[in-house]
Structure 1
Amino acid sequence: MIFHKIMRQGYLLTGIFSCLLTAGYAQEQEQKQEQPQERTNERPATIDSIDVVRDYRPILADAVKIRQSPDMSNKRQYQPELTYNILDKKLDINTGTKRLTIQEMPFTRTQTPSNNYAKIGAGNLGTLLGEVYLSSDYWVDTRVGGYVKHLNQQGAIEAQKFSSQQIGVFGRTILGPVTLDGELGYNRYGTRFYGLMNDAAGNNLNLDPTKQTFNDIYFTGELTSNYDEQATDAFSYSLKADAYGYSNAQATKENSFALAGYVNKQVGVFNVGANISGDFTSVKDAAYSFANNIAKVNPYIRFQGPNYNITLGAKFVAEFGDSSRTNIFPSAEIDFALVPQFAHLFGGINGDVNRTSVKELTKENPWLAALGTSNYIRNSVDRMYIFGGIKGNAGATFGYKVKAFYRRIENMPFYAIAPDAPYAFNLIYEDGDNASTIVGLEGEINVRVSEVVTLGGKLNFNEFDLQQQEEAWYTPKMRLSANARFNISDKLYIDGELLFQGQTYGLVQDPTIDLSSYAFTELSESGARKTTVPSFADLSAGAEYRATDRIGIYVRLNNMLGTNYERYLFYPRLGLNVIGGVNFSF
Structure 2
Amino acid sequence: MKIKFQYIVFVFALIGFQASAQKTDENIGTEVVNVVKPYTPTISDAFKVKETPVMEDEDNTKREEIKYNIFSFPVASTFTPAKGKAAGVDRQKAEKLYNNYATLGVGNYGTVNAELFITENISRSEYVGGMLRHISSQGGIDAAVVDDNYYNTALDLTYGSRQQSYNWNADVGYKHQIYNWYGLPVDYINFENDVIAAINPQQTYQTVYVGGKIGAKDSFFRDATAQYKRFWDAAGSAENRFFVKPSLDIDVMSEKIKVDFIADYVGG
TM-score by length of 2: 0.54
Alpha-carbon distance, 1:187 to partner:
0.8
2:254 to 245, 269, 272: 269
Deviation (angstroms), 1:176:
2.6
The aligned length equals 166
- 2:109 counterpart SS class: coil
Match of 1:244 in 2: 229
SS of residue paired to 1:247: strand
**How far did 1:240 drift?**
1.3
1:160 equivalent to 2:151? Answer no
Question: Could you tell me how far 1:273 is from its partner in structure 2?
Answer: 5.8
Tell me, yes or no, if structure 1 residue 179 matches structure 2 residue 167: yes
Opposite residue 126 of structure 1, the aligned amino acid is G
- Give the alignment of 1:49-448 within 5 angstroms: 114-137=98-121, 139-153=123-137, 154-156=139-141, 157=144, 158-198=146-186, 200=188, 202-203=190-191, 207=196, 208-226=199-217, 228=218, 235-272=220-257, 274-283=259-268
Cα distance in 2 for residues equivalent to 1:145 and 1:175: 18
What do the CA deviations read for 1:38-59 (whole angstroms, capped 9, x no partner)?
xxxxxxxxxxxxxxxxxxxxxx
Matches within 5 A, 1:433-512: none
Task: Give the Cα separation in 2 of the matches to 1:262 and 1:189.
Answer: 33
Distance change in 2, residues 1:264/1:116 (3 Å): closer
Deviation of 1:268 after TM superposition, in Å, equals 2.6
The structure whose Rg is larger is: 2
Task: Say if 2:122 and 2:128, in contact at 8 Å, map to a contact too.
Answer: no
Q: Is the 8 A contact 2:109 2:140 kept in 1?
A: yes
| Bigger strand share | 1
Give the 3 Å change call, closer, same or farther, for CA 256–199 of structure 1 in structure 2.
Answer: same
Q: Contact (CA 8 Å) 1:194, 1:209: kept in 2 or not?
A: no
Once the two structures are TM-superposed, the CA of residue 138 in structure 1 deviates from its matched residue by 5.5
3-state secondary structure, aligned to 1:221: strand
Q: Deviations over 1:357-393 (max 9, x none)?
A: xxxxxxxxxxxxxxxxxxxxxxxxxxxxxxxxxxxxx
Runs of 4+ residues over 4 Å off in structure 1: none
| 1:253–1:272 Cα change, 3 Å | same
CA distance in 1, matches of 2:206, 2:119: 25
Residue identity matched to 1:189 = Q
Aligned to 1:523: none
Indicate how the Cα distance of structure 1 residues 145 and 203 shifts in structure 2: closer, same or farther if over 3 A, else same.
Answer: same
Identify unmatched segments of 5+ residues in structure 2: 1-95
Instruction: Kindly report the root-mean-square deviation, in angstroms, between the aligned alpha carbons of the 2 structures.
Output: 2.8
Describe the SS at the equivalent of 1:125.
helix
- Using a 3 Å threshold, how does the CA distance of structure 1 residues 147 and 262 change in structure 2: closer, same or farther? closer
Percent identical pairs in the alignment equals 20
Within 5 Å, which residues of 2 pair with 1:544-555?
none
Superposition TM-score, scaled by structure 1 size = 0.26
- What is the CA distance between 1:259 and its match in structure 2? 1.4
**Aligned position for 2:75:** none
Distance apart, 1:121 and its partner CA:
4.6
**Structure with the higher helix share, 1 or 2:** 2
- Cα distance change on mapping 1:123 and 1:271 into 2, 3 Å: closer
* Structure 1 equivalent of residue 53 of structure 2: none
Alpha-carbon distance in structure 1 between the residues aligned to 2:171 and 2:131: 11
Task: State the match for 2:36 in structure 1.
Answer: none
Change beyond 3 A, Cα 1:114–1:201:
closer
Work out whether residues 196 and 204 of structure 1, in 8 Å CA contact, stay in contact via their aligned partners in 2: no
Rounded to whole Å, the distance in 1 between the matches of 2:241 and 2:264 is 7
Distance 1:138 1:169 in 2: 15
